[in-house]
A and B are shown apart, each in its own frame.
Chain A
């Protein structure tokens, strides 16, 4: 009997696995070797390609882990014993003492007292720490830790110091704690997520490391970029503290190099592109990147690469032969291989994208836990089991970089996959009650606390925090206002809760970042403070002020005060709300019977949920049925499908073959689908696994010319005629906004190698070789050695533009020799990309699409397997192209997420659903028409009968409230009173210079956040009021704003086009559109300048569009201003 899982490693993969497990009711023992969880991600500045602040999106997860009652964190600790069988392992863990008890307040006095100065690991030794320290501000668990190895007090008191103990006021430092203790736990399964290490820079003298202080590793440069880093986010040369005018980035330092590591480290290309982008953004004039193949394989990666080039970073294909000091500067010699010219560049700084390697200690852990290590040093996987999650010891799984290098979303997906496997060994679940503080009495008298976050220098670098604090103190109802360095840090959260209680405040305004990312965190703080979580309001100073008004610091500070005032005014009108519980249909529906759907369904059924799998063809397996071997491991595809089919059968999945979804609808906890065969399926969670479609080429005469085939034709057994075979990569990929199809390079090289081994002449025409997957670079190496010829065609255009085919030979410019070549060819193989599947299921379920046409995930880094709408999950290529391994990993991640939803018999419903105020209602029935979900029924006749509001069906859009002419419908948390108060507050000062922007929670508000993330600057004249849907906006809001003198009003919402809508509320934005036209007509008739009231559709990814629109509105304001002046 076991209810626990051991997770080894507390980086993002381990953290995500722990959360996925804990949310599903498993107990987790999380063992981390270093003093804090968070891993490498915590030390990064921004993530590619979204430029999300890394710690900002990771910190909420870290605090969730540290607060989750199902998770026990042991850190610093290591596994020293592991015995038993799946379902019943006994683990022994050596847990080292921190010597600081948990009552520590992080006042930092001990640190100031400590005389020992040491290099700080978190800043990769670019800054210092003391022997008593906290690794980084958001670090969990615990607080400070004493580094006993360097503490003067030990060993054994040869220099009796004790300064920290003397300095500590609460007396929580205890040197008498035993140095370590061995704890024992029983677990049902285990997940290894020990991440990766970076190559020892001492080996990189050939790359100039150590020869000149301004030659940095990428991690060192990342710390320079970080506002919380050693230089406060300034890029400066370690040699003299000056800003560099030129930086050279070098890729593949120690990777793809037989002298160090043969493998591709997979993420360096993209983080280097990101760093180059940031360097340009920091004003570095000359930014050059030396690369070998640009591996921009993920969603939006190619576009980001292009954008970085547009920003002025130069990308040169080459590799440095020497990096040497040249006076103060650094001389780098390389060949620009596209130009065929040797260059000697003198630059101010060199950044080395250092190879990632297997983590130190992995072999030792493998010995203890009894799993195998592969020849490349990473965990060996039983790939035929599916994906890369299963180790050679049953019951032990692996996730993240320990089992092959990968970026954050892939690690997150794999963590979900490992969690899904790990759960199958448990037979007991635990559901602890949330921890709540002693409830506070007297909620009626408004007493507001205001906390303003510096966010390091993210906010404080632009906004004068002191002025905002001072202004907040003067606002009505505010009992205190203060500021914190990082409001989201675990200890700060505790501090905020303490402060609330102390001041007997009963409402709080957190002026920090976006509620979209951090509202849940601060709601938990409210619970701890004994307050209703809905008595919280956030002012989004970071994404919507400091990040977007960097140049106008004074105006940004004024705007911050306005934003805080708006929040305070709303907070004054907040009322406690109670979460309701809605029934959950504990069944799963998986749509699509390819490898993704099969993997997800089999796992969900194995977790114990009734699972339905719907496949429209008569055969399971999808695209895999067309494949012969799966590269790079060379697994027979059919065998793989058979294994999965057996799994499905054993798990008892109800498979519906030859059936299509006719209609599907409903909401989280209760979806209903009707199939073409008449069957009706109810499900609490839906997994979309419809897959992607191989591109059907029209290029190179495919279809008419029998000599032209696709790679899939070959997989299907189409004979390869003749002896001379030429492959062309990227057919149908990397053009017109579509990205890299990820699977094709490794698959193409696998095929090329097989044909070469049959004795054929094989040529490959490529733009970039993207063999980033585990063992794929090795496959590329082998293909070259065996005589497959590789030719680089124009990397910047689609192959049909750079290669011509006359039926007998292809002709192209080889960029490596700068010669036009003709390759006589008997069979031309087009390696085709993946394109989105066109289907209406996602439309019926209101799942949004990203720009490339694939389904949009909840978050590109941390939510790759979830759709934006709750209860819907994305498995496999339906979200983006990927190879078989990645498909399986993501499918299992989707299953894990769906699993923890289904694990409970009710779901919590946010209390933001509409409420009828009966004494105002005249039973006109107009709201019935307005509701997009049929959640309002009229029983009886108009004006006589009775209105019935169905809470379970209501999604909280507020379209009904906006339609009601009698104010008889209240939208909790977005009440009319609250919104009017926000308008008043926004217009309290210089209203004619303001644009009131109504933004919907899902798209346009997120678009505004995105503008911040991308640091797209726009004028500080707009003030945003968030509602759940644009359909919540009523006529009174508009009129009120103009009456109060607003310069302009902008209504925004999710995209609405003639062919569809991104609206999360079933075309509710169509109502916005209709109403807006009415208001506009009415107001312009009364003489309003038509430009002063506008409507714009902005999707979540369109930060640029949001900024452009606000700038346009600002022009309107200025024009108004001129008119006024002229009149005067």
Chain B
């Protein structure tokens, strides 16, 4: 790092001062060499034309810092021309009294990213800003890159180091024993993935350990069985996909995880993997190094195929008003808005109601970008806004297709509300079961 005033060394400054003094015809017997005199002269120096002294408010641009940002963001941060759309659309603006200044964050990055404002860690990588950016800047990627720089500067927030160590030691971000990874499938008698089955069902860490989300994984199993799909699971061998690590900003470690995961998938001969979470899907699609014939699908995408080919048919009527909340990692990040809707539409009796902001404009639940592992004040949760929007539709159920979304939304349902949250797989499972059980399911 070079100092901004690298070329005005102490000696240089003294020379400049001497030159200036000559010009000013200062008497020889001046008090230049007394302590007080020097202080006074330093002050005088600042007023001499040609010498300006950066005061506390002046930021000196540092080329090395800037190049570091250019490299880390692959030039993306440089491309932004500062229109401010990102700041204005950022969902934090709807819950915080002061909006999160994404544009300013990128601007600071454009000047070398001095300091590490809280905003870097607030981003949920929902991608709402990216969708509107006129320069097409992948803003979430810029922010993750900045997080990466922050890790290098040891400027990470509380919570994220634990997350990393949890993955490191236990293979999941929750710090739960690897031996309990297959607890969710108790009693289901699922086959080990042998490489011969049609698909590998990948539950992921959250569905494996979170008791609420375990139900979703079980519902997926129920549906796949109803369609007669031949599948296997990896049980305790199932690796973490790396999404939490990557979204915490530690791309290097996430890359290692992806490399190991890819190796395992290749060894096992995985051709089609079906995930419970769109976050895992995102890792498999974009960060796993797999042969071209490898397919990664979210379970809603796979079900859509099953419905289209006639393998899955729902006959039981389920009279239910459902509004669908698009998960960011299925929708904006991977461009699929239709699969979950088509699955819901295939259920006789289900009435699909759209929220004010849907599809590309959908509001994030607040759980992405590693936010699941950080504290969010109760009055600053996106999910509360989202639940209110859902209630406006008159729906009985908020359907979603992501473990994080289901958790966040469910946590934000007010006690007096009659609306409930359910995963698409769960809704489908109700429809496949007896009508009497459906009633009970809704009521429970």
Question: A553: which B residues are within 8 A, CB to CB?
Answer: none
- Chain B hits for A258, CB < 8 A: 133-136
Q: Is B7 engaged at the interface, CB distance under 8 Å to the other chain?
A: yes
Question: Which A residues between 750 and 788 are near B, CB-CB below 8 angstroms?
Answer: 761, 763, 769, 780-781, 784-788
**B87–A335 CB distance below 8 A:** yes
B8 within 8 A of A: yes
Answer whether A763 and B61 are a contact pair too, CB < 8 Å, given A318-B84, A321-B132.
yes
Q: Which of B104-112, B412-420, B429-437 is the contact stretch?
A: B104-112
- Which A residues touch B107, using CB under 8 A? 816-817
B8 proximity list for chain A (CB < 8 A): 808
Q: Check: A861 CB closer than 8 A to any chain B CB.
A: no
Instruction: Give the docked Cα–Cα distance between A785 and B74 (Å).
Output: 9
Q: Are B61 and A808 in contact (CB under 8 A)?
A: no
Q: Are B85 and A321 in contact (CB under 8 A)?
A: yes
The stretch that binds A, out of B36-44, B49-57, B141-149, B286-294, is B49-57
CA distance A38 to B35 in the complex (A): 81
Q: In whole angstroms, how far apart are the Cα atoms of A817 and B89 in the complex?
A: 19
Known: A321-B88, A724-B63, A761-B63. Is A337-B81 also a contact (CB below 8 A)? Answer: no
CB of A320 within 8 A of CB of B134, answer no
Q: Mark A25-63, 1 if CB is under 8 A from B, else 0.
A: 000000000000000000000000000000000000000
Q: Is the CB of B88 within 8 A of A785?
A: no
B66 touches A789 (CB 8 A): yes
Q: Give 1 or 0 for each of A296-333: 1 = CB within 8 Å of chain B CB.
A: 00000000000000000000011111100000000001
Beta-carbon contact of B58 and A821 below 8 Å: yes
Contact B88 A340 (CB under 8 A): no
- State the Cβ distance, A705 to closest chain B Cβ, in Å: 9
Is the pair A823, B135 in contact by a Cβ cutoff of 8 Å?
A: no
Report the separation of the CA atoms of residues A1111 and B63 in the bound assembly, to the nearest whole angstrom: 61
Using CB atoms, name the residue of chain B closest to A826.
B7
Does B78 reach chain A (CB closer than 8 Å)? yes
Looking at B51, B79, B88, which has the most chain A CB atoms within 10 Å of its CB? B88
Cβ proximity bits A334-347 to B, threshold 8 Å, 1 near / 0 not: 11110010100000
Closest to A255 in B: B134
- Contact A784 B61, CB 8 Å, known A804-B52, A806-B51: no
How far apart are A752's CB and chain B's nearest CB, in angstroms? Answer: 12
> Which B101-160 residues have C-beta < 8 A from chain A?
101, 103-104, 107-108, 110-111, 132-136
Interface pair B135/A781, CB less than 8 Å apart: yes
On chain A, the residues within 8 Å of B52 by CB distance are: 804, 806, 809, 811, 822
* Interchain CB contact under 8 A, B78 and A789: yes
**A821-B78 in contact given A319-B85, A333-B89 (Cβ < 8 Å):** no
Inter-chain contacts of B103 with A (CB < 8 A) = 335, 337, 816
With an 8 Å Cβ cutoff, the count of chain A residues facing the other chain is: 50
Give how many A-B residue pairs fall within 8 Å (CB-CB).
Answer: 136
Determine if A820 is an interface residue (Cβ-Cβ < 8 Å).
Answer: yes
The answer to whether B348 has its CB under 8 Å from any CB of chain A is no
- What CA separation (Å) do A130 and B89 show in the bound complex? 44
B99 within 8 A of A: yes
Q: How far is it, in angstroms, between the C-alpha of A319 and the C-alpha of B86 when the chains are bound? A: 10
Q: Is the CB of A821 within 8 A of B59?
A: yes
The answer to whether the Cβ of A807 comes within 8 Å of any Cβ in the partner chain is yes
In the complex, A203 Cα to B81 Cα: how many Å?
23
Given A819-B59, A822-B59; A206-B81 close (CB under 8 Å):
no
Contact B84 A334 (CB under 8 A): yes
Cα A252 to Cα B85 in complex, Å, equals: 13
A905 to chain B, nearest CB (A): 57
Which residue in A787, A814, A824 is a CB contact (below 8 Å) of B4? A824
A785-B78, A789-B78, A806-B51 known; A821 vs B111 contact (CB < 8 Å): yes
Residues on B with C-beta less than 8 A from A336 are: 84
- Within the complex, the shortest CB–CB distance from A337 to chain B, in Å, comes to 4
**B60 lies within 8 A of A822 (CB):** yes
B247: min CB distance to chain A, Å: 23
Q: Assess whether B199 is interfacial by the CB under 8 Å rule.
A: no
- Kindly state the separation between the CA atoms of A256 and B136 in the bound complex, as whole angstroms: 10
Pairwise interchain contact B78-A787, C-beta atoms closer than 8 A? yes
**Which of B87, B88, B110 contacts A789, CB < 8 Å?**
B110
User: Which residues in chain A, 123-148, are within 8 Å of chain B measured between CB atoms?
Assistant: none
Is A838 an interface position by the 8 A CB rule?
A: no
Q: Closest residue to A722 on the B side, CB-wise? A: B7
Residue A292, interface by CB 8 Å: yes
A785 to B75, Cβ gap below 8 A?
yes
Cα separation A483 to B291 with both chains bound (whole Å): 81
Q: How far is the CB of B326 from chain A (nearest CB, A)?
A: 16
Task: List the A side residues contacting B276 at CB < 8 Å.
Answer: none
Question: From B102, which residue of chain A is reached at the shortest CB distance?
Answer: A335
B58 CB contact (under 8 Å) in A292, A319, A784, A811: A811
Q: Decide if A790 is an interface residue (CB 8 Å cutoff).
A: yes
Residue of B nearest to A723 (CB): B63
Q: What distance in Å separates the Cβ of B259 from its nearest Cβ neighbour in chain A? A: 29
| CB contact under 8 A between A787 and B75, given known A252-B134, A258-B135, A822-B60 | yes
What is the minimal beta-carbon distance from B312 to any residue of chain A, in angstroms?
A: 34
CB distance from A429 to the nearest CB of B (A): 50
Closest A residue to B53 by CB, please name it: A806
- Chain A: which residue is nearest B66 at the CB level? A789
User: CB-CB < 8 A to B136: which residues of A?
Assistant: 258-259
CA distance A259 to B83 in the complex (A): 15
A996-1038 interface with B by 8 A CB criterion: none
For residue A807, which residues in chain B have a CB less than 8 angstroms away from its CB? 50
Once the chains bind, are A320 and B78 in contact (CB under 8 Å)?
A: no
In the complex, what distance in Å separates the CA atom of A1096 from the CA atom of B33? 69
Are A256 and B88 interface neighbours, CB within 8 A? no
Report A-chain residues with C-beta under 8 Å of the C-beta of B70.
Answer: 787
B175 interfacial contact with A, CB 8 Å: no
Does A257 lie at the interface of the complex (its beta carbon under 8 Å from any beta carbon of B)?
yes
Complex Cα–Cα for A792 and B103 (A) = 14
* Shortest beta-carbon distance from A706 to chain B in Å: 14
A784 CA to B57 CA in the complex, in Å? Answer: 26
Residue contact B7 to A808, C-beta cutoff 8 Å: yes
Does B82 have its Cβ within 8 Å of any Cβ on chain A?
A: yes
Closest to A763 in B: B61
Which residue of the partner chain, among A292, A317, A319, A342, contacts B99 with CB atoms under 8 Å? A342
**Cβ of A822 and Cβ of B82 under 8 Å apart?**
no
Cβ < 8 Å to B, chain A residues 807-864: 807-809, 811, 814, 816-817, 819-824
Question: Does B395 have its Cβ within 8 Å of any Cβ on chain A?
Answer: no
Nearest CB in chain A to that of B129: its residue: A321
Query: How far, in angstroms, from A101 to B64 measured CA to CA in the complex?
Result: 76
Which one of A319, A342, A822 lies within 8 Å of B54 (CB-CB)? Answer: A822
CB-CB under 8 A from A806, the residues of chain B are 49-52
Q: Which residues of B contact A337 (CB under 8 A)?
A: 82-84, 103
B80 within 8 A of A: yes
State A808–B361 Cα separation when bound (angstroms).
48
A335 to B88, Cβ gap below 8 A?
yes
B81 touches A292 (CB 8 A): yes
Q: Is B316 an interface residue (CB 8 A)?
A: no
Tell me, yes or no, whether B349 is within 8 Å of chain A by CB. Answer: no
Residue on B nearest A809 in the bound complex, by CB: B4
Separation of A322 and B86 alpha carbons in the complex (Å): 11
Q: Does B93 touch A at the CB level, under 8 Å? A: yes
Give the residue name and chain of the A residue nearest to B137 (CB): A258
Question: Within 8 Å CB of B79, what residues of A?
Answer: 781, 784-785
Closest 5 A/B residue pairs (Cβ): A335-B84, A321-B88, A321-B89, A258-B136, A257-B134
Q: A781-B79, A819-B57, A820-B58 are in contact. List 17 more A-B contacts (CB 8 A).
A: A319-B85, A321-B89, A335-B87, A335-B101, A784-B135, A785-B79, A787-B67, A789-B66, A807-B50, A808-B5, A811-B54, A821-B60, A822-B52, A822-B54, A822-B61, A823-B61, A824-B6
Interface on A for B, CB 8 Å cutoff? 206, 252, 256-259, 292, 317-322, 333-337, 340, 342, 723-724, 761, 763, 769, 780-781, 784-790, 792, 804, 806-809, 811, 814, 816-817, 819-824
B positions within 8 Å CB-CB of A: 4-8, 49-52, 54, 57-61, 63, 66-67, 70, 75, 78-89, 93, 99, 101, 103-104, 107-108, 110-111, 132-136, 361
